[in-house]
């Protein structure tokens, strides 16, 4: 620990003296990145650069920065893909129920910006899960089993899905045109 600043010495003189003494001792030799350019020095300055850098360094998902309503919307939209690997209908319904409980809690006590969030329809998610399982079974019966050295089923072999629009559940179709 450094000594206390003497009362009769200005702060900047005292700090300069401490830095000079540390340089003479070699405290700044062999620092990581010594002699290398600063990372990102050529990029434009962004006010949230440190947040992005921390997320990248810690390998954290950026979804944590979204408001709760948008997080829930993304969760509801990704629900069919997230339940694809589940084995039985009860597990699919439990996953949908868990997401719907969080949506209901948000609707009861909203936090952050007030955006509409609709719960997922369990029957629709289960129907899509069943259809995907049937398509997977039909595809695996039609194709010969992979040999020991052959790669497994790739994502390209999966039937193409239409792109789901984010606004679809919230747009009302039954409104008369004005």
104-118: average pLDDT: 90
DSSP 3: P
Q: Is 22 helix (H, G, I), strand (E, B) or coil?
A: helix
16-34: average pLDDT: 89
What is the structure's pLDDT at 171? 52
What is the structure's pLDDT at 164? 53
Q: Is the pLDDT reported for residue 91 higher than 60? A: yes
Q: Is the pLDDT reported for residue 176 higher than 70? A: no
Neighbouring residues of 28: CB distance < 8 A, sequence distance ≥ 6: 22
Q: Is the pLDDT reported for residue 173 higher than 70? A: no
The neighbour count for residue 120, using CB atoms within 10 Å, is: 20
What is the structure's pLDDT at 96? 95
**How confident is the prediction for the chain on average, in pLDDT?**
81
Q: Is the pLDDT reported for residue 104 higher than 90? A: yes
Q: Is the pLDDT reported for residue 42 higher than 70? A: yes
Q: Is the pLDDT reported for residue 177 higher than 50? A: yes
Do residues 76 and 119 touch, judged by C-beta distance below 8 A? yes
Phi-psi region of 26 (alpha: psi -120 to 50; beta: other; left: phi over 0): left
What is the structure's pLDDT at 156? 46
Q: Is the pLDDT reported for residue 101 higher than 90? A: yes
**Per residue in 118-160, pLDDT tens?**
999 999 999 999 999 888 888 777 665 555 544 444 444 444 5
Q: Is the pLDDT reported for residue 44 higher than 60? A: yes
Q: Return the top range by mean pLDDT from 38-52, 55-69, 131-145.
A: 55-69
Share of the chain above pLDDT 90, in %: 38
């Amino acid at each position: 620990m450094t000594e206390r600043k003497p009362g009769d010495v200005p702060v900047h003189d005292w700090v300069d003296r401490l830095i000079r003494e540390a340089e003479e001792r070699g405290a700044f030799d062999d620092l990581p990145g010594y002699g290398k350019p600063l990372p990102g020095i050529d990029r434009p300055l962004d006010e949230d650069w440190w947040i992005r850098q921390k997320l990248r360094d810690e390998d954290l998902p950026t979804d944590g920065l979204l408001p709760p309503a948008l997080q829930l919307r993304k969760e509801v939209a990704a629900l069919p893909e997230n339940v694809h690997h589940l084995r039985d209908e009860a597990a699919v319904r439990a996953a949908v129920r868990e997401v719907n409980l969080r949506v209901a809690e948000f609707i009861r006590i909203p936090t952050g910006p007030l955006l509409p969030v609709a719960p997922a329809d369990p029957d629709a998610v289960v129907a899509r899960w069943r259809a995907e399982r049937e398509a997977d079974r039909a595809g695996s019966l039609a194709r010969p089993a992979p040999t020991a050295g052959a790669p497994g089923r790739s994502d390209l072999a999966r039937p193409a899905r239409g792109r789901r629009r984010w606004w679809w559940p919230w747009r009302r179709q039954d409104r008369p045109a004005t």
